[in-house]
Amino acid sequence: METLELKKDKVYLGLKQDILSGRLPSGGKLPRETDLARELGVGRITLRASLDRLENDGFIRRIHGKGTFVYPDGATTDASTIMVIHGGGSGFELPWHYIVPEITRCATEKQLKAFIMTDSAINMFSELDIKAFAKSNHIIGIAAVTNHFTGHEPLLTKMKSAGVPVVITHGAPDDAEVTGLSCIAVSEKDCWEAAIAHLTGLGHQRIAIIGKTGASFREYSLPETLKLLKKYHAEPDEAMVRTTEFDRQQIVETVKIFFSNPVKPTAILCFSDFYAIYVYDALKELKLRIPQDVAVMGICGYPDARMLNPPLSTIDYGYAEFARMAVEMLQNPGKWIDAAGRGKLRLKPFKLIKRQSTEPKLKT
């Protein structure tokens, strides 16, 4: 059952977002408490507690005998900032490089600001410091571009201490359950299966697969991957399924091992588009043509993958769409919190992008 504390927090956040977004215009008058409580589906005690907090934070002003008004300063651009937290690192394969700029762009379109920092940076500050910063800088929510939480990370405690909604952006499907926070995710297992289905649909039965060390095959184990190949009538050859670090030399050597076997692959499925870049290098060294000699398929939707020669087919996660959805959810946070006060999972669709690296169809 929803507690009074939870109800007043949800009402506070909802009204605050209405003010920041302009749905409750600056200088406008709120309905009478009785009518507003009925409209929001809460009791007057809950509503008054929420209004008290809004007044203390400077978003409304109560004038005796006249009513409650949206305070003009509460709707300024300065009162609308999204904190964006990412995992850092300089590797070009890290998704935050492509998602964070899009969050900034989407925020600007909504007349919001973006304050960007790394997870290691926010962990340096105390919970009181973070809460004070969020209040004084009018932080309306946090977009966390990181994933695969265990539930014990200090980052979770630090983000929650800000007292604002948090959306895990580009999360893992179980991150919402583990953290209790709202989460946007794609089903990596469905993406992996879609890639195999695409290749087998083109006639490929000997598919080599390169997974990532420690990350398996997009949530599939080795035995599960072999079963998936069999499901789509491809040859479940364990010698054709390997994992490696994201390292050019290791990836090149892995590809050469595939083609040293008596039975050679007609297609290679890569853990990501970034892995595929080095697979192209390996095939060039082997003097093999794409796609005439071997097709190559990526996963993730690296924006510049179309610049490869030939352009890379991929399962596109949609980095820009992650950003748009995160900003949208932070503007309307109540929609993404369940009755128990826990964040909801928002599964994001993906797209199969067919390019020349998997065409034409394999001739039999």
Query: Could you tell me the residue ranges of all domains in the chain?
Result: 4-75, 80-186+320-331, 188-316+352-358
pLDDT at residue 74 in the model: 47
Whether 2 shows a pLDDT value over 50: the answer reads: no
Contacts of 132 (CB under 8 A, 6+ apart): none
Share of the chain above pLDDT 70, in %: 94
pLDDT at residue 344 in the model: 95
Give whole-number Cα distances, 112 to 56, 79, 104, 139, 267, in Å. 22, 8, 9, 10, 45
| pLDDT tens, residue by residue, 106-122 | 998 888 889 999 999 99
Q: Report the run of H or E that residue 101 belongs to, with start and end.
A: helix 96-109
CATH number for the domain running over 188-316+352-358: 3.40.50.2300
Mean pLDDT to the nearest integer, 231-237? 95
pLDDT at residue 77 in the model: 41
Contacts 24+ apart (CB under 8 A), 123-128: 123/154, 123/155, 123/158, 125/158, 127/157, 127/158, 127/161, 128/161
Whether 306 shows a pLDDT value over 90: the answer reads: no
CB 113 within 8 A of CB 80: yes
Whether 54 shows a pLDDT value over 90: the answer reads: no
pLDDT at residue 364 in the model: 44
The residue among 256 and 112 whose pLDDT is bigger is 256
Contacts 24+ apart (CB under 8 A), 61-69: 67/29, 67/30, 67/32, 68/29, 68/30, 68/33, 69/27, 69/28, 69/29, 69/30
Whether 73 shows a pLDDT value over 60: the answer reads: no
Fold of 4-75: Arc Repressor Mutant, subunit A (1.10.10)
Domain pair 80-186+320-331 / 188-316+352-358, same fold = yes
| pLDDT tens, residue by residue, 124-179 | 899 999 999 898 888 999 999 999 999 999 999 999 999 999 999 999 999 999 99
Whether 226 shows a pLDDT value over 90: the answer reads: yes
Whether 4 shows a pLDDT value over 60: the answer reads: no
Bridge partners (DSSP) listed for residue 346: 184
| pLDDT tens, residue by residue, 317-359 | 999 999 999 999 999 898 999 888 899 999 999 999 999 999 8
pLDDT at residue 59 in the model: 80
Query: Quick one: tokens of 359?
Result: 């065409």
pLDDT at residue 215 in the model: 75
- The answer to whether domain 80-186+320-331 has CATH 3.40.50.2300 is yes
| pLDDT tens, residue by residue, 11-51 | 888 888 777 767 787 778 899 999 999 999 898 898 998 89
**Helix 154-161 crosses helix 127-136 at what angle (to 10 degrees)?**
40
